[in-house]
Structure 1
Amino acid sequence: MIVELLKSQPEIALFVSLALGYLIGSIRFGPISLGGVCGTLIVALVLGQTGARISPDLKNVAFALFIFALGFTGGPQFFANVGRGWRYGLLSIVEIVSVMTLIMIAVVTMKLDAGTAAGLLAGAATESAVIGTASEAIAKLGLSDAQVSTLQAHVVTAYSVSYLFGLITIVLFTSQIGPILMRVNVREEAARLFRKLGGDGVLDDGQRLALPPLEGRAFEVGPAAGTQVSAFEARFGNNITVEQVLREQRQIHTDAQFVLQTGDIVFIGGRREAVVEAAGSLGAEVSGEGFVKLFAQRTDVMLTRREANGLTLAQMRERADPEAGRGIYVGAITRLDTTVPALPGTVVHRGDVLTLIGSPADVARGAQRLGYVIQQTQKTDFVYLGLGVLVGMMIGRFGVRVGGVALELGTGGGCLLSGLFFGWLRSHFPVVGSLPSAAAQVLKDFGLATFIAAVGLSAGPDAIKLVREYGLALPLAGILMVLIPGLLSLWIGRMFLKLEAPMLLGAIAGQQCSTPAISALVGVTGNSTPVIGYTITYALSNILLPLMGPVVVGLATKFG
């Protein structure tokens, strides 16, 4: 009865796959969990034995929305990192070249078909989007429906088998094996790097600083009497701001030319270490209860200013006009939905979201100079979204032949490139194309999970046949396709690029597009410095790897 129900109403199988898949994927074994996508695939493969099938149209629409949203959210960071972050970007190239070489060696030696080869690439590189671009490419090979169905089933089966072993390997490599090979105590290195970048403390994973990096305090002016505000602030690197003065019970907004007098009650804000240093030059600390209308505002601003791209936060402050930058502080940096430590030595890129903190007037001035304020809207511009997907579908229809190998991007590759362009366009002209980050995340999560569930359900009995045919060969290949690129990147990054150990390991996690790996690494290092390297390679590999799906299918079809 259940089998008949699932066959007659396949949407039940879809949502059972999503619910159970994400439940299974959330189970943690130390730092490792399968994740919702892999969990959904496993459940869908099991339910696929009942004969339940999802309409190919729903599958194609879901993948088009996912891949466009992926390109849209990654567009600004992708273009910002193509050049500026070349040292880290080189590691993504190492990943692509080495994995593609290993895939072709496996194709020739193991006689892999196009579907198995593409699935091995997707699983070993832990990049689920490859499943979609490769499946589309298989559908355009001119084969019979039965052959296409079999090869597409091989994609998801090879992915599910190699993904687990690839995931475990990259987590262990970045958090345990890599530090041993480099002969470093990665926790001590991360603490040293944190201080080098301007940090004044180390965070353990899951903890917050009891003393916040930005703070405000009130003092009664003593030794600083007769000093001009601009000179006083410059003495401490402009890392503090005299926000307001209480003089004879009258609250006064200060400017750079304001002169402090004995008995003034001043409210200063800024970086904690600078405030502590300045305290001795001011006088006795007081409660500051007279400042009744003093507010601090937090505003998220997307950085679009070309001159700021590639600068550290400290360099931005040094190059800014003292009056223009006065009273503006960066409390957090968000890059690709990942929080990067906002330290003086942190390099920023166009497309980063800076959380500005200060008085409302100061924050508004800073936002105007740095980029545009991210409006907290829940509305999606469906004109922009629909046009972007349509353009992607048109791009996907074009194909070329290289050395006798037919290469066609398909809807997946076309929508990925279209999403990149439309996301970049949105970052430069923010008045059009609203796609809130929450909406984009839903498109990515639900679109990919729905696509994976549909493909898994259609795989059917072919999945079992493939596992029986190759046995342990696929898991072993998946492990080697993580270890070899990882070892190459470790050697190149350490010997030639001279990258700091925590950021190098983070970059290796990013070139594998592995969120569990960076989470485990941050837990081992005790702070978030590895994330700086992770975001750059993740932005590049997350775009380049899906484009390799059609390439693998074309090469495997010719040489397999």
Structure 2
Amino acid sequence: MLPLLDLLAQNPVLTLFTVLLLGFALGGVRVFGFSLGVAGVLFAGLFVSALDPRIALDPAVYELGLALFVYAIALASGGHVLSSFGRAGLIRNGLVLGLLTLGAGLTLGLGRLLGLEPALTAGLYTGALTSTPALAGVIEAVAGQPGAGDPVVAYSIAYPMGVIGVMLALFFFERRFRPDYAAEARALGVSGEEPVTRTLRVTDGRELTVESFVRAHGGRVVFGRLLHGGHLETAEAGSVLRGGDLVSVTGAPADVAAVIRVLGEEVAQSLSEDRSVLDFRRIFVSSPGVAGRRLSELRVNERLGATVTRVRRGDRDIVPDGRTVLELGDRVRVLAPRGRMAEVTRFFGDSYRHLSEINLLTFSLGLVLGLLVGTLPLPLPGGGTFRLGVAGGPLLVGLVLGALGRSGRVVWNIPYSANLTLRQFGLALFLAGVGLRSGGRFAAQLATAEGLALLLAGAAVTLSVTGALLWTGYRLLRLPYSLLSGLAAGLDTQPAVLGYATERTRSEVPELGYASVYPAALIGKILLAQLILRLAG
């Protein structure tokens, strides 16, 4: 064993990838449906570091990982910030931020009761609510301060219950409230089903344009092919729907059924079988000139005679409308005249190789701006200053740039797949670094009475905050439970909880709740952890 430890101590790069290997192997182990996921890297780092205190990484490694992780996730979340300013969004975010503040107060009280050092108290809060960026801010704030304590120790002890506790709370309140998930999804207009395409014969005696019908009857549907008088064409906004016409409609099953009831009757004939005049193709969005723009701005129908009938983002199909913003990596299903399909393909780009490349100029520019913002001293009430640091600066700038999407010709967002890769790799680097710096202290603490107290205190914070969210949201605010389960995952900023909630509800409703509060919860926990650190001192 000693030669291996000597080898790891002398080779930091080998140490890093050994920890990543062990961490992802540990994270893939499932117990009662729960797994640590990427957080397994943290515990692998703690284990390896506990074997020999000489094994460590340069702090620049985990700072780099943190900056990549926070900036990538902020870019992806920036567009959701705008949706949180409506009345419903303000209610949800107000509830989440209020309960996060309540959790901070509870953590402070428990920290004083147990006689914890300031950094341990702040680390307890970040672990109980599973916030790695907030932990990073605490680590940065206490660097070089003797007697502050090690926040990673408290974070690591509280973290597992910070995930499992939320899932247990969701299960318990689900059994108590017995929500009807299918009815909630229908009420929110989220069926959780893949879009379908149906052909209908128009029997309505009125002559309606496609645009006027959609505006009058609502619903997110796309009219594709229109067969009138034996002539097949794309159904444009100004196309008139007359009795006897055949038209294809794409949308959620319930929306398509509603259109058929109002406009005509479904027929078995499929207009897509005839590809002699109109053709369709899945095309990758790889052109910087298209990414970050609304479909209404692109005017593909006017320019190319084409219609975008679906947008596939990640593993999900979206039925688009004029407000839909295309992103690099989207796959659009386009209906166009057969002779113009090559032109349409060039317009969107359709380069898979280009999607695997990141514009390092704009990506680096955004990170530089974020890191510079993180160094600025910001005033605190009553005097003193604080800095957003490596975690907060890139987070704030990334949210702004993600919401903008593009500035002139500069596209800030990066392809969906590249974002996920950078996010995971950055988080893994950070967790490996912080785990390797705290293994000895974690092992010593875990076997003490204080370690048990930290575990119980973390569980108390997790269950209190989550339980208050679910009861208040369901009983007082009358929010759908499926939406509340997404809010709980967003409050915890925990993808594992979101996956659990999505599996239980079998719909996309939890994703809506998660996305609407995630940015505010992320920023709120960073700031509240800093406040705990100061008040506990």
Which category describes the TM-score, using the shorter chain as reference length?
Answer: 0.7 to 0.9
**What SS class does the counterpart of residue 227 from structure 2 fall into?**
strand
Q: For 2:185, which of 181, 188, 194 is the aligned residue?
A: 194
Measured after TM superposition, the shift of residue 29 of structure 1 is 2.1
Alignment check: 8 A CA contact 2:57 2:437 kept: yes
Contact 1:216 1:270 in 2 (8 A): yes
Whether the aligned pair in 1 keeps the contact of 2:225 and 2:271 (CA below 8 Å) is no
Q: 1:439 aligns with which of 418, 429, 450?
A: 418
Aligned to 1:155: 151
1:64 corresponds to 2:55: no
2:405: which partner in 1? 426
Q: What is the CA-CA distance between 1:160 and the residue it aligns to?
A: 1.5
Change (3 A) 1:460 1:517: closer
On the 8 A contact 2:373/2:393 being kept in 1, the answer is yes
SS in structure 2 at match of 1:131? helix
8 Å contact kept, 2:104–2:529: no
2:279 equivalent in structure 1: 295
> Normalising by structure 1, what TM-score?
0.76
Deviations 1:134-181 (A, max 9, x none): 111111xx535xx57xx3xx322211211111211101112x112234
Matched, 1:179 2:174: yes
SS at match of 1:29: coil
Q: Are the aligned partners of 2:126 and 2:132 in contact in 1 as well (CA < 8 Å)?
A: yes
Sort the Cα spacing of 1:504 and 1:375 in 2 relative to 1 into closer, same or farther, 3 A. farther
Does 2:162 correspond to 1:166? yes
**Equivalences for residues 208-357 of structure 1 within 5 A:** 213-217=195-199, 224=203, 228=207, 230=209, 234=213, 237=217, 239=221, 241=223, 243-245=225-227, 247=229, 251=232, 256=238, 266-271=246-251, 272-274=256-258, 277=261, 281=265, 285=269, 289-297=273-281, 331=310
- Residue of structure 1 in register with 2:5 after alignment: 3
| 3-state secondary structure, aligned to 1:32 | coil
Aligned to 1:312: none
Task: Judge conservation of contact 2:92–2:517 (CA < 8 Å) in 1.
Answer: yes
Q: Which has the higher mean CA deviation after the structures are superposed, 422-431 or 253-262? A: 253-262
Q: CA deviation at 1:374?
A: 11
In structure 2, C-alpha distance between the alignment counterparts of 1:132 and 1:544, rounded to whole Å: 14
Among 374, 392, 402, which residue is 1:396 paired with?
A: 374
For 2:107, the equivalent position in structure 1 comes to 103
Deviations 1:90-122 (A, max 9, x none): 122123201211121122111111221222112
AA at the equivalent of 1:243: R
**Residue 26, structure 1, aligned to residue 5, structure 2:** no
Q: 2:493 aligns to what?
A: 513
Q: CA deviation at 1:304?
A: 6.6
Q: Is the 8 A contact 1:92 1:537 kept in 2?
A: yes
Corresponding residue of 1:42: 43
User: Structure 1 pair 350/412, CA: closer, same or farther in 2 (3 Å)?
Assistant: same
What corresponds to 2:431 in structure 1?
452
Question: Quick check: 1:74 aligned with 2:56?
Answer: no
Q: Give the secondary structure class of the aligned counterpart of 1:28.
A: coil
- Cα deviation, residue 384, structure 1: 2.4
The residue aligned with 1:532 is: 512
**Relative to structure 1, is the Cα distance of residues 12 and 70 closer, same or farther in structure 2, using a 3 angstrom cutoff?**
same
Structure 1 residue 54 displacement after superposition: 0.8
Residue matched to 1:384: 362
Question: How far apart are residue 470 of structure 1 and its match?
Answer: 0.8
Within a 5 Å distance, the mapping from 1:491-506 to structure 2 comes to: 491-506=471-486
Change (3 A) 1:82 1:254: closer
CA deviation after TM superposition for structure 1 residue 284, in Å: 7.3
Measured at CA, do residues 126 and 340 of structure 1 come closer, stay the same or move farther in structure 2, by a change above 3 Å? farther
AA of the residue aligned to 1:382: L
1:202-238: CA deviation from partner (whole Å, max 9, x where unpaired): x6xxxxx6xx532143x7x7x8599746389949948
RMSD: 4.2
The count of residues paired between Structure 1 and Structure 2 equals 503
Asked if 1:134 is matched to 2:138, the reply is yes
The whole-number CA distance in structure 2 between the counterparts of 1:102 and 1:375 is: 52
**Residue equivalent to 1:55:** 58
Aligned to 2:345: none
Q: Call closer, same or farther: CA 1:307–1:343 in 2, change over 3 Å.
A: closer
Stretch moving more, 224-233 or 267-276? 224-233
Deviation at 1:461, TM superposition (A): 1.8
1:52-103 deviations in Å (ceiling 9; x for gaps): 1111222322222222223222222224314551121112212320121112
SS at match of 1:33: coil
CA distance in 1, matches of 2:534, 2:55: 30
When residues 393 and 524 of structure 1 are mapped into structure 2, their CA distance, relative to the original with a 3 A threshold, is: closer
Question: Equivalents in 1 of 2:486, 2:166: separation in Å?
Answer: 11
Letter in 1 for 2:463: L
Query: Is the 1:99–1:481 contact (alpha carbons within 8 Å) kept by the matching residues of 2?
Result: yes
Q: Distance in 2 between the 1:538 and 1:80 partners?
A: 12
Residue identity in the other structure for 1:111: G
Distance 2:111 2:317 in 1: 39
Q: Which runs of 5+ in 1 are unaligned?
A: 204-208, 309-322, 365-371
